[in-house]
Amino acid sequence: MAARLLWRESRRLLAGAGAGAGAGLRLSTAPRPEKKRWLRAYLEQQRLEAPPQRRSEKPNWDYHAEIQAFSHRLREDFSLDLLKTAFVNSCYIESEEARRRELGIDKETVALNLQDNSKLAEQGVSFSRSYLTRCFEGAYPDLPAKGIGALVDFLTSQELVSYVAQNLSIQDLTLCREFPVPPDVLQRTFFAVIGALLNSSGPEKTGIFVRDFFIPQLIGKDLFEIWEVINPMGLLVEELTKRNISSPEPRITRQLGVSTVLPLYFVGLYWLV
């Protein structure tokens, strides 16, 4: 009974207040609009599940400014024209010319006035391999040539070079038909960047660049994880022959369980110096 009286009185007070204030105060009984709490999570999920998009297809992209920023980020003095050429792959030129032909553009304007990075990449590969070989020969004079070759092959391999290139964001500047950029294209582009630096700043600075980005990749690596010695005894005889040392002589230094099914022998190699 008390609740009913309170309800009636409250309705009268509200009605009187509404009449006194005119149309300034009105009570709405319409349902409040619900916030789309799911929208932000849905948009984020769509963004994560979307296929990878080129950086050049996103807003605020200036290719010339990005090339300059890349040069300053590496703190190297590049010729901008050579650096731009280093990022142009032959597959990009072919795809762009094919796209222009499909659009019906005249044959005279179909061809792009661009040079691919094949020449710069060859120069970069040649310089990198020769520089790394000289470094290891100076640091490890007793290491056989096959071991040095294995280290150089490891540091210039497609997997390692593409890994270094990705960490330098080279894939964002690479002009390529496919995206994401394949590892072989990343490898060629990175060597082309080295070739551009060689033609811009000379061999001394380029050697420091190769040293700083390649040789640290050996940290934590074991030599025999990289270099698989197929014939150790033959390699030892070959190295001793080069030094005019007699062939090694094997001798049993210790033995255990000779009369058992599983005997154990310790064999040492000796030679006269």
**The domain spanning residue 156 has which CATH number?**
1.10.1520.10
Q: Is 254 helix (H, G, I), strand (E, B) or coil?
A: strand
pLDDT for the residue 204? 95
| Judgement on whether residues 218 and 240 belong to the same structural domain of the protein | no
| Judgement on whether residues 239 and 198 belong to the same structural domain of the protein | no
| Judgement on whether residues 212 and 78 belong to the same structural domain of the protein | yes
**The pLDDT of residue 269 is above 60:** yes
pLDDT for the residue 33? 61
| Judgement on whether residues 75 and 123 belong to the same structural domain of the protein | yes
pTM above 0.85, yes or no: no
Tokens of 54: 């080129």
Cβ proximity of 86 and 189 under 8 Å: yes
| Judgement on whether residues 242 and 204 belong to the same structural domain of the protein | no
Domain that holds residue 203: 61-226
Query: Could you count the other beta carbons within 10 Å of the beta carbon of residue 42?
Result: 11
pLDDT for the residue 268? 93
Q: How confident is the model at residue 58 (pLDDT cuts 50, 70, 90)?
A: confident
Query: Could you count the other beta carbons within 10 Å of the beta carbon of residue 273?
Result: 6
| Judgement on whether residues 194 and 75 belong to the same structural domain of the protein | yes
Cis peptide before 33 (omega within 30 of 0): no
Number of domains in the chain: 2
Query: Could you count the other beta carbons within 10 Å of the beta carbon of residue 161?
Result: 26
Average pLDDT across the chain, whole number: 85
Distance CA 112, CA 84 (A): 14
In a domain, 114, yes or no: yes
